[in-house]
Chains A and B, each alone.
Chain A
């Protein structure tokens, strides 16, 4: 049994790859932090297990779900790490790759979303990259399945066949190198830790990795613990960061090639300009939602529902009635089927079109990357109630279903903000409540259904926001929130 771990920055397509490679299906969405815990699946017709991990920017975690990855690396040893990167943002993606390569486990780096890179008019010389980083480099487009077969064949290998790579050794400043070497030596000699792992532990410890520091404390690794003050006073963390960035910059400069550029970029960036416009952004946001409700209620959902209703209460029940009378069923049974089953199940069934359309709209929004932009547009308002634009995404997903919405709240860095977001999430009207709304609206306001439902939704939002402010005061939230999209 071989284990392959998928690891990389958020929103680089790990889960998309995972779904293509394995027999399992996990949730994909176009914003940061979709995957919040690890998922395991098996590559078809093989005994290779694939582990999908949450996206991280570095092994030093800021949020809870990010620490899942570091803990995973500390505790289990995958046979192969597939580092999924966004090809057009290699500079920051490689910062993580370096940390992984230093671990010395076999790594394959795949430049995913290679279609996006080609559109920018740049390309990388893969051989140059592979030589500099000391591991195989592949390119994939997980959406159109380009390059997946080749990648799959490389993952489906016995442990013995997997090509070892020696850990990446960067040229850190002399003082740092010396500190790493000393710590590694005593870890190897006094604690019988494997040299490569000890080397990585030392670097991560010096680099202020919170999880590794906790690990060192738990295992009482004195060579590291005793030097902590010295490492921090010397600002080794900054030195390590600068060395890594300089290495990446020089590597990428030598590896960059230029293609003739295409025009595609301009279309998306034009749309981008409108939806993130400082003044238009908010109206556009409300407009998008209005459109969504119009679609679900006035244009598609309700007419379909009505037809379904007409079909059920008209032909189908008369037909069932006739049929049952003809076969001579008991009147009680007939009444059970016609008035109970058909009318009852039908009563719920007629709302299916509405729920379906709403769900479809939300998933289109999710996949288009609009969510991250909505977070930006709404941050200023959210800040007023002491939250973060990022809290907006969970709340919006909450419209589909509160449960997934609450799950999505995990990307929020501050624990208290996360708690507040979770608490106000249920105020967002989830789609299961839609039948009830529709029922009321249809009964009380037959004329302007979409407008009324929209206002119910906004009422929910307003109450939710007020509650957020209230909780905010209640919990004495002081920390500033990290807001970077």
Chain B
């Protein structure tokens, strides 16, 4: 279990629909997210934001935390 905290740096580079969906889940630049679980082979990442757990793709996760 890798509970680590990250801050969302940016939404740039994501396509509009993904950004919009993440926004409507209440995520914005500066939101703090905790990673709950990484799936192997760069599979999805489960993150926790305000008590809700969301699964996102690894690439999306990298974009969000600005790497």
Contacts and interface: CB of A to CB of B under 8 A. Distances in A.
B24 A242 contact: no
Contact of A278 (B17, B21, B39, B50): B39
Contact of A62 (B21, B26, B39): B21
B21 A380 contact: no
Given A88-B51, A484-B55, A485-B54, A57 B21 contact: yes
Contacts of B26: 91-92, 95, 245, 248
Interface string A267-289: 00000000011110100000000
Contacts of A482: 15, 17-18, 21
Nearest to A245: B28
Contact of A241 (B28, B50, B54): B28
A89 B51 contact: yes
A278 B57 contact: no
Interface string A315-347: 000000000000000000000000000000000
A484 B43 contact: no
Chain A's interface: helix, strand, loop or mixed, by majority?
A: helix
A57 B27 CA distance: 13
Contacts of B57: 379, 383, 483
Interface residues of A, number: 34
A245 B49 CA distance: 14
Interface string B10-39: 000001011011111110100000000111
Given A484-B56, A485-B54, A376 B44 contact: yes
Interface residues on B, range: 20 to 34
A485 B20 CA distance: 14
B46 A376 contact: yes
A35 to B, nearest CB: 18
B28 A242 contact: yes
A376 B28 CA distance: 23
A425 B61 CA distance: 30
A484 B21 contact: yes
A204 interface: no
B67 interface: no
Contacts of B56: 483-484
Contacts of B21: 57, 62, 482, 484
User: Which one of B17, B38, B52 has the greatest number of beta carbons of chain A within 10 Å?
Assistant: B17
Contacts of B18: 480, 482, 484
B54 A484 contact: yes
Given A483-B57, A484-B56, A58 B46 contact: no
B44 A241 contact: no
Contacts of B55: 375-376, 379, 389, 483-485
Interface string A450-485: 000000000000000000000000000001101111
A53 to B, nearest CB: 16
A484 to B, nearest CB: 5
Contact of B25 (A62, A92, A278, A376): A92
Interface in A36-61: 57-58, 60
A278 B20 contact: no
A413 B15 CA distance: 12
Nearest to B57: A483
Nearest to A389: B44
A95 B24 contact: yes
Contacts of A57: 21, 24-25
A416 to B, nearest CB: 14
Contact of A91 (B37, B40, B50, B60): B50
A196 interface: no
Contacts of A92: 24-26, 52
A380 B46 CA distance: 13
A6 interface: no
B25 A484 contact: yes
A279 B51 CA distance: 24
Contacts of A91: 26, 50
A187 B35 CA distance: 47
Contacts of B24: 57-58, 92, 95-96
B52 A89 contact: yes
12 contacts: A95-B24, A242-B28, A278-B37, A279-B40, A376-B46, A379-B39, A379-B55, A383-B43, A482-B18, A483-B55, A484-B54, A484-B56
Given A62-B20, A484-B55, 5 more contacts: A92-B24, A92-B26, A379-B57, A413-B17, A484-B56
